[in-house]
Amino acid sequence: MFNPDLKRGSLELLILAAIEGRPLHGYEIGKVIGLRSRGELQLPVSTLYSILYRMEDRGWVTGRWVEKPGERRRCLYALTPEGEHVLADQKQEWEAFSAMVNRVVGLSPA
């Protein structure tokens, strides 16, 4: 539905926002994004995990393996303090960028 280039530039922000406040495993992150987008954005698992691994390498998220009786192991991802700063910065940047685009295309007052 959306241009892939538009999505590509915002996926890190969407993933960081999904895990803000509580650790989630990959499947849950995808579900949160799907629910918040009202089903308009579904991330392929391979895309989601490649971004999570990249963010983990950057120190924005940590992954912790958890085992529960009768269930398979899952990796829970949580924001690090660095990730919280990155998320705050990206939210601010997105707000300013989207407001500017809306002004330029005539969706809000100039």
Question: Which DSSP string corresponds to 32-58?
Answer: HHHHHTTTS----HHHHHHHHHHHHHH
Instruction: Give the whole-angstrom CA distance, residue 102 versus residue 77.
Output: 33
Tell whether pTM > 0.95: no
Q: What is the pLDDT of residue 3?
A: 63
Instruction: Give the whole-angstrom CA distance, residue 37 versus residue 35.
Output: 5
Task: Find how far residue 60's CA is from the centre of its chain.
Answer: 11
Amino acid at 46: S
Q: What is the pLDDT of residue 7?
A: 63
Q: What is the pLDDT of residue 108?
A: 79
Low-confidence residues of the chain: pLDDT under 70: 1-8, 110
Instruction: Give the whole-angstrom CA distance, residue 26 versus residue 15.
Output: 10
For domain 4-105, give the fold.
Arc Repressor Mutant, subunit A (1.10.10)
* Domain spans in the chain, listed from the N-terminal domain onward: 4-105
Q: What is the pLDDT of residue 53?
A: 96
Name the strand (E) or helix (H) holding 103.
helix 81-105
